[in-house]
C-alpha cells in the first residue's frame, strides 16, 4: 500500500482544465462540496461534468465558471425547483447540456468500471433523448447477438477524475462509505484518477478489524484528503444532515443575480485560512 494522503489544495490540482469529472453522492447527500469549493477557488475552466442526479455540487461548479459541458440524468434542487446556475447558463447557452437519463449514465460508468467499451441497456427507444446531439458519451441502437432483442448500447463513460466524499479512510486510500453508496464505488472503478475527501482519517488497523465495511480498496484511490464537514451543505450520513436552509439561501442569491456574493462569502473567503 502506498500513502496517498494529501492536502485539499494539492488534490484539487489533480483536476485539470477541460477534464471529464464525476462527483459522488446524489443530490444533497455526500456531495464533495469542499473539493468543489477548492476547484472553484483554483479557477479551473472548461470541465465536462457527468452524473446521474447531481445538484448543488454541479450547480456551484457551473456558477463558479468552471464548466463547459454537462451530462446528467437530472439536475435539479429537488422540491425547491430548478438548479439556478444550471438553468441560467443553459438557457444563455454558456454551457452545453446533453440531456441524459439515469440508466445510460449508470451503464456508461459501469461499462468503464468493467473495462468494457460499451454496455447495452433496455428502455430508451422511442424517447427523443436518443436523438439529442452528442456531447459526452453516446447511444447506439443494437440487436442482441443471441436473441435479436433491440437494445441501446451505451458507450463507456471513463471520467478523468471521480471526486467522492466519504465518512472514513486511511492514509493509503482504503475508504469506508456509511449508509447508501449510490454509484460511488462504480465511479471509483470507472475513473482514471480518484480523489476521496473524508470526514475522518482513521488508522489502517480499523480497516483490518472490519474489512467487510471497506467500500473502496486502496489500489483504486489516488488521493485522500481529510475534510471534516466536507459535504456541507449536503448531508453526510452518521455525521450531519443536509442544511436545507442554506441550500434555499444559495438558490435565492443565485436567482436574484447575487451569486458573486455567495461565492465571496462561502467559497473565496473560506479559502483564506
Partner 1 sequence: MNSEGTPKVEIPDILISAMAQEINNYDTVLHGVSSPLPVLAMSVARRTHAPDMAYVSGAGGVDSEVEQIFPSSFDPRLNRRCVAYFGLYEAFDLAQRGELNLMFLGAAQIDRHGNTNLSVIGDPDHPKVQLPGGAATAFLMPITPKVVIWITRHSGRIFVKEVDFVTGQGYNHRTEEQRENELVVISNLGVMDFKNDARVMQLRSVHPGVSREAIQEKTGFELIIPSRVPETPEPTSEVLEIIRQLDPEGVRRAEFK
The C-alpha atoms of residue 109 and residue 116 are separated, in whole angstroms, by 10
**Cis amide prior to 158 (ω within 30 degrees):** no
149 binds, among partner 1, a copy of itself, none (CB under 5 to 8 A by kind): a copy of itself
Residue 164 Cβ, how far from partner 1 at the closest point, in Å? Answer: 15
- Per CB under 8 A, does 269 bind a copy of itself? no
> Cβ of residue 132: shortest distance to a copy of itself, in angstroms?
17
Reduced DSSP (H G I as helix, E B as strand, rest coil) percent helix, strand, coil of the chain, to 5: 35, 25, 40
44 binds partner 1 (CB under 8 A): no
Choosing among partner 1, a copy of itself, none, which partner's interface includes residue 113 (Cβ < 5 to 8 Å by kind)? partner 1
Is the Cβ of residue 115 or residue 257 nearer to a copy of itself in the bound state?
115
Phi, psi of 67 (to 5 degrees): -115, 140
Binders of a copy of itself among residues 207 to 236 (CB under 8 A) are 212-213
- Count of C-beta atoms within a 10 Å radius of residue 219: 11
Question: What length does the chain have?
Answer: 273
Instruction: Select from a copy of itself, partner 1, none the partner in contact with residue 1, using the beta carbon and a kind-dependent cut-off of 5 to 8 Å.
Output: partner 1
Interface with partner 1 in residues 151-190 (CB under 8 A): 170, 172, 174, 179-183, 186, 189
Q: Does 7 bind partner 1 (CB under 8 A)?
A: no
Catalogue the E-assigned strands of the chain: 20-23, 47-51, 67-72, 96-99, 118-121, 139-143, 150-155, 161-169, 175-176, 193-201, 223-226
Is residue 151 within the footprint of a copy of itself (CB under 8 A)?
yes
CB of 104 to a copy of itself, least distance (A): 13
Q: With binding defined as CB under 8 A, does residue 117 bind a copy of itself?
A: yes
Give which of partner 1, a copy of itself, none residue 26 binds (C-beta under 5 to 8 Å, depending on kind).
partner 1
Question: Does position 115 bind a copy of itself by CB under 8 A?
Answer: yes
> Can residue 101 be called a binding residue for partner 1 (CB under 8 A)?
yes
> Pairing mode, if any, of strands 175-176 and 161-169?
antiparallel
First to last CA, the chain: 32
Shortest separation between residue 200's beta carbon and partner 1, angstroms: 17
Of the candidates 262, 20, 220, the residue with the CA atom closest to the CA atom of residue 136: 20
3-state SS string for 135-152: CCCCEEEEECCCCCCEEE
* Radius of gyration for the chain, computed over Cα atoms and rounded to the nearest angstrom: 18
CB nearer to partner 1: pick between 116 and 201: 116
CB-based contacts of 79, cutoff 8 Å, min separation 6: none
Among 66, 109, 153, 166, contact with a copy of itself (rule: CB under 8 A): 153
Least Å distance, CB 158 to partner 1, is: 9
Under the rule (CB under 8 A), what is the footprint of a copy of itself?
Answer: 115-122, 138, 140, 142, 144-147, 149, 151, 153, 155, 178-179, 212-213
Amino acid at each position: 500500500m502506498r500513502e496517498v494522503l494529501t492536502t485539499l489544495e494539492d488534490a484539487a490540482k489533480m483536476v485539470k482544465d477541460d477534464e471529464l469529472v464525476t462527483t459522488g453522492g446524489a443530490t444533497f447527500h455526500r456531495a464533495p462540496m469542499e473539493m468543489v469549493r477548492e476547484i472553484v477557488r483554483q479557477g479551473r475552466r472548461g470541465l465536462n461534468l457527468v452524473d446521474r442526479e447531481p445538484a448543488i455540487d454541479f450547480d456551484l461548479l457551473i456558477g463558479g465558471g468552471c464548466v463547459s459541458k454537462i451530462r446528467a440524468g437530472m439536475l435539479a434542487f429537488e422540491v425547491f425547483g430548478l438548479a439556478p446556475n444550471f438553468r441560467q447558463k443553459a438557457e444563455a447557452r454558456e454551457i452545453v447540456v446533453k440531456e441524459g437519463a439515469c440508466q445510460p449514465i449508470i451503464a456508461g460508468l459501469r461499462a468503464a468500471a468493467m473495462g468494457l467499451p460499451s454496455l447495452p441497456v433496455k428502455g430508451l427507444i422511442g424517447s427523443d433523448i436518443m436523438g439529442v446531439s452528442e456531447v459526452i458519451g453516446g447511444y447506439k441502437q443494437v440487436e442482441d447477438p443471441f436473441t435479436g432483442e433491440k437494445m441501446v448500447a451505451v458507450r463507456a463513460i471513463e471520467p478523468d477524475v471521480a471526486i467522492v466524499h466519504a465518512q472514513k479512510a486511511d492514509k493509503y486510500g482504503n475508504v469506508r462509505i456509511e449508509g447508501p453508496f449510490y454509484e460511488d464505488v462504480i465511479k471509483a472503478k470507472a475513473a482514471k484518477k480518484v480523489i476521496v475527501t473524508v470526514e475522518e482519517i482513521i488508522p489502517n488497523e480499523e480497516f483490518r478489524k472490519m474489512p467487510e465495511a471497506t467500500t473502496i480498496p486502496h489500489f483504486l484511490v489516488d488521493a485522500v484528503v481529510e475534510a471534516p464537514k466536507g459535504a456541507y451543505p449536503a448531508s453526510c450520513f452518521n455525521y450531519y444532515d443536509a442544511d436545507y436552509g442554506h441550500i434555499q439561501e444559495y438558490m435565492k442569491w443565485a436567482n436574484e443575480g447575487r451569486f458573486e456574493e455567495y461565492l465571496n462569502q462561502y467559497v473565496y473567503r473560506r479559502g483564506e485560512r
